[in-house]
A and B are shown apart, each in its own frame.
Chain A
Amino acid sequence: MARAFNDMTRRLGEAQRQLTQADKLASIGRLAAGVAHELNNPLTGVLTYASFLEKRARGDPDVQRDLEIIVRETKRCREIVRGLLDFSRQTPPRRQPADLNEVVRHGVAIVMNQFAIDRVELKLALAADLPPVPADANRIQQVVVNLLVNAADAVGERGGTIQLATRTATVPARGHAAIRQATCPRGCDLLDPAVRIGGWSSIRVIRRVGDRDTIVHLDPVYGRARHRLSDGAGTGLPALYLCPLCRSRLDDPGRRCAECGRPTFAVSAGAAGPIEWCTRRDCHWTRWEAIEKAGPQRFAELQIEDTGRGIPRQHLDRLFEPFFTTKGGRGSGLGLAVTWRIVESHEGTIDVDSEPGRGTRFTVRLPYAVGPSAPVPPAAMPAPVPAGARGAP
């Protein structure tokens, strides 16, 4: 079975490398589900026989201890397999009005024993007046458990404190709303899942200065301006912006930046209207009229903060990628990918702030208003706060 497991892991790794980024998530999900199903039967054999023997070996402490290790490690395999299956699950959440505090208490009950063993102190600050939020309670509980387990891992063996708080938060669109659809005037899809900024696909455009073209990956979070440029040339020069696929112009000489008077360029977010940026590289002006008009949105907020080792800045952008782990051999690299997917499927958001040596804070926000009647189009939602190159396009 170990050989089969290794072989499948290797196949999974090879397949992962061969796939194009765009198809990667969906394909890994399908492959992982197949592998996970195949592993469940042999794991049932190992787990049942080993736990049966463990019960019968009570008179022999040495044998019992060895069997305990087999049982414990097989249960770890079980969690990895369940993680793969959770990750591959694409069905929409079944949202019903849920008491987030109740969901949190259930999640806490699951990890509390382990926390006591690990000398982790958990402080709860649950808002008393939290209205019910439309959520799939089981999946949000999984988010709570995943984040608590991560926080406990970060705190490590020396022990520490984890604070968990819930509250209602009103969040402005600027700096938070994510652009989940972006097309050029001819309808080409500009989202680039190969270059993600904090989990979201960036918006890929061409910046032309003179006869020189540069690829720019725009920050998909409205108003945040953590764009990525392949070089820093031509800061003060007039620039054109083009679709990288059909080369149609994105800039409009007739529209001017409200701050510096230069022309603006825009992409379309479908029903959520156009989003404009200034063509001057060092000007941060941007406008998404439909989202600004809709006003701030209310969220049920869950915050989990630890006093652990923190996350290096260069890892923040990749945290939510499947198979990315900072735990070495102890992590499957799926916990936060699953967490991300669950929160995203709720039209919610997840932010992470971290300071190496001091700790990490995850903030999950679930909208009170969802679906077609929501005041803000589903395309708009707050997004993670990741690292990345800063600067205007």
Chain B
Amino acid sequence: MSSGWDVLVVDDEPVVCDAIRLVLEHEGLRVAVARDGETAVRHPALEDCRVVFCDLMLPGQPGLEVLAHIRRRRPQLPIVAITGYPTAENTDRSRAAGATTFLAKPFDTTELLELTRRVLSGTAAGEEEQP
């Protein structure tokens, strides 16, 4: 049975989760939220959501570990790493852990929507997004 979620957002900041949810739900997507890694990896949305947004700085289990866990569970799932500062170092490490692409905070509605459209249409995989 379907979980009913299109998107899973993993971020400990309520305002970031709410902002992503507001914008994507307005586009008709169903958005689930997890505030930490432990919750995220147990969340039913992980079974069949179409994209995950995962912050790299999470309380408890580090973002990179959460990302790698999700990648093992869903090898084809687009995963967007959210980062405050996409340096070459942390983009390399998160790519190695399984991130498809990156979203730098703070972002606006257009940036979020365009990125979401790209990952859902499969055009974001393997693209080069240098910091």
Contact = CB atoms under 8 A, between A and B. Distances in A.
B85 A37 contact: yes
Q: Is the interface of B mostly helix, strand, loop or mixed?
A: helix
B105 A52 contact: no
Given A45-B16, A52-B19, A94-B88, 12 more contacts: A37-B57, A40-B84, A40-B85, A44-B19, A44-B106, A45-B19, A47-B108, A48-B107, A74-B106, A85-B84, A91-B89, A138-B130
B88 A48 contact: no
B96 interface: no
Interface string B100-126: 000001111110100000000000000
A40 B108 contact: no
Contact of B106 (A40, A55, A94): A40
Given A48-B22, A94-B88, A41 B108 contact: no
Nearest to B12: A41
A77 B108 CA distance: 13
A36 B57 CA distance: 14
Given A41-B15, A42-B15, A51 B108 contact: yes
Given A42-B15, A138-B131, A71 B108 contact: yes
Nearest to A54: B109
Contacts of A78: 106
Most buried by A among B22, B26, B85, B130: B85
Interface of A: 36-37, 40-49, 51-52, 54-55, 71, 74-75, 77-78, 81-82, 85, 89, 91, 94, 138
16 contacts: A43-B105, A43-B106, A44-B15, A44-B107, A45-B16, A46-B106, A47-B106, A47-B108, A48-B106, A48-B107, A55-B109, A74-B106, A75-B108, A77-B106, A81-B106, A138-B131
Contacts of A36: 84-85
Contacts of A54: 109
B105 A51 contact: no
Interface in B72-88: 84-85, 87-88
- Name the residue in B16, B109, B110 with the highest tally of chain A Cβ atoms < 10 Å from its Cβ: B109
Contacts of A51: 108-110
B13 interface: yes
A73 to B, nearest CB: 12
A58 to B, nearest CB: 13
Contacts of A48: 19-20, 22-23, 106-109, 112
A52 B22 contact: yes
Interface residues of B, number: 24
Contacts of B112: 48
Nearest to B112: A48
A59 B6 CA distance: 30
A81 B20 CA distance: 21
A42 B14 CA distance: 10
A41 B57 CA distance: 11
Nearest to A46: B106
Nearest to A78: B106
